[in-house]
């Protein structure tokens, strides 16, 4: 079957023939209708995560998929051929930029019935990130104040909607040209990051979702109320992540050192910092699909690309400025 792979870290993507997926007892073979692309794809190709995600090359990229079930493993009970599904396959089993992929049934859910496969493919990684930040780690309650950085992007555009559904007062950072767009998603306060400093305009927030890292994360700590929490999805990783990921002692020490400075800053301010590296979950995707079908969440597809334009799709992400997600239609 056809797929896009890279042969070595930092090498370009290329289209090639790869072996058919092996379908285990608990696996579901899916014909790919569309695949979302994410900054994580480029970070993996660039080798940024090779210490914690040591993939063997050549590697098929892709973390989001929507498509049709072709066949199921002997122990699969929840899916049957012909089902329309979507997923973010678990780490170690990615590879959605291909004609077919075998996915553990625990990572899979029926796709929302009210949207197209392209829209469904835009959701899994970003919607799971939003869910795990706001519901699992953040425990966001009605009336709380939540700041979401980069509100017009893939993660931000879904997180704003979910935060509003949870009853939060939502602030976001975005360019001036995207101000009306993020307000339409549900943002109550919009800070134009090009002309205003969010740190001087916001205070007393319960939760910040930071997708930028660096100084932006440090400033985010200072807009939190005492006891508030910043959740970072760009890093640095923290000791809890290293333990959950089962990293070896040397890597755990390295990860602890990477986040020591920001954790010290947080402690001094009386706030918390946690790193979120999203994990696959079919159960959470089912809840997300229900929110989509009930009109609470709507996908945001900024641009679509044909299968042979996959390298251009990743280039478009790197250039920035794209609203929502970029999605590749199946081969």
The fourth-level CATH superfamily of domain 2-123+299-329 is: Medium-chain alcohol dehydrogenases, catalytic domain (3.90.180.10)
Summarize pLDDT for 170-227 with one digit per residue, the tens. 999 999 999 999 999 999 999 999 999 999 999 999 999 999 999 999 999 999 999 9
Which residues, 6+ apart, have CB-to-CB distance to 166 below 8 Å? Answer: 134, 135, 140, 141, 142
Average pLDDT over every residue of 4-29: 96
Q: Are domains 2-123+299-329 and 126-275 of this chain identical in fold?
A: no
Q: Which helix (H) or strand (E) holds 218?
A: helix 214-221
- As its CATH architecture, domain 126-275 has 3-Layer(aba) Sandwich (3.40)
- Beta-bridged to residue 275, according to DSSP, are 232
Predicted local confidence at residue 156, as pLDDT: 97
Q: Tell me: cis bond preceding 236? Omega within 30 of 0 counts.
A: yes
> What's the pTM value of the predicted model, to 2 decimals?
0.96
Give yes or no for a contact between 1 and 30, defined as CB atoms under 8 angstroms apart: no
CA 330 from chain centre, in angstroms, equals 20
Per-domain residue ranges of the chain = 2-123+299-329, 126-275
Summarize pLDDT for 224-256 with one digit per residue, the tens. 999 999 999 988 999 998 888 888 898 899 889
Strands 325-329 and 27-37: antiparallel
Summarize pLDDT for 13-24 with one digit per residue, the tens. 999 999 999 999
Summarize pLDDT for 200-212 with one digit per residue, the tens. 999 999 999 999 9
User: Using alpha carbons only, how large is the chain's radius of gyration in Å?
Assistant: 19
């Amino acid at each position: 079957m056809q797929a896009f792979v890279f042969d070595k870290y930092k090498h370009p993507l290329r289209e090639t023939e790869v072996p058919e997926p092996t379908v285990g007892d608990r696996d579901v073979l899916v014909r790919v209708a569309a695949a979302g692309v994410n900054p994580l794809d480029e970070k993996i190709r660039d080798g940024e995560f090779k210490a914690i995600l040591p993939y063997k090359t050549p590697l098929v990229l892709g973390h989001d998929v929507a498509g049709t079930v072709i066949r199921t493993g002997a122990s699969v009970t929840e899916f049957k051929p012909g089902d329309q599904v979507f997923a973010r396959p678990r780490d170690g089993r990615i590879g959605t930029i291909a004609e077919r992929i075998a996915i553990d049934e625990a990572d899979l859910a029926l796709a929302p019935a009210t949207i197209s496969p392209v829209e469904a493919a835009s959701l899994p990684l970003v919607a799971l990130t939003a869910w795990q930040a706001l519901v699992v780690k953040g425990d966001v309650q009605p009336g709380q104040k939540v700041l979401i950085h980069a509100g017009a992007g893939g993660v931000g555009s879904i997180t704003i909607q979910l935060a509003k559904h949870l009853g939060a007062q939502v602030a976001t950072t975005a360019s001036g040209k995207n101000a009306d767009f993020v307000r339409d998603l549900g943002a109550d306060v919009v800070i134009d990051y090009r002309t205003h400093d969010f740190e001087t305009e916001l205070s007393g927030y319960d939760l910040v979702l930071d997708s930028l890292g660096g100084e932006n994360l440090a400033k985010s700590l200072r807009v939190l109320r005492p006891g508030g929490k910043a959740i970072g999805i760009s890093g640095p990783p923290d000791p809890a992540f290293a333990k959950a990921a089962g990293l070896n002692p040397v890597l755990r020490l390295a990860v602890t050192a990477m986040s020591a400075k920001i954790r010290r800053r947080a402690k001094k301010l009386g706030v918390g910092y946690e790193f979120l590296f999203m994990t696959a979950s079919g159960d959470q995707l089912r809840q997300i699909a229900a929110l989509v079908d009930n009109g609470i969440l709507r996908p945001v597809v900024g641009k679509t690309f044909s299968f042979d334009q996959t390298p251009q799709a990743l280039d478009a992400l790197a250039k920035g400025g794209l609203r929502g997600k970029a999605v590749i239609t199946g081969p």
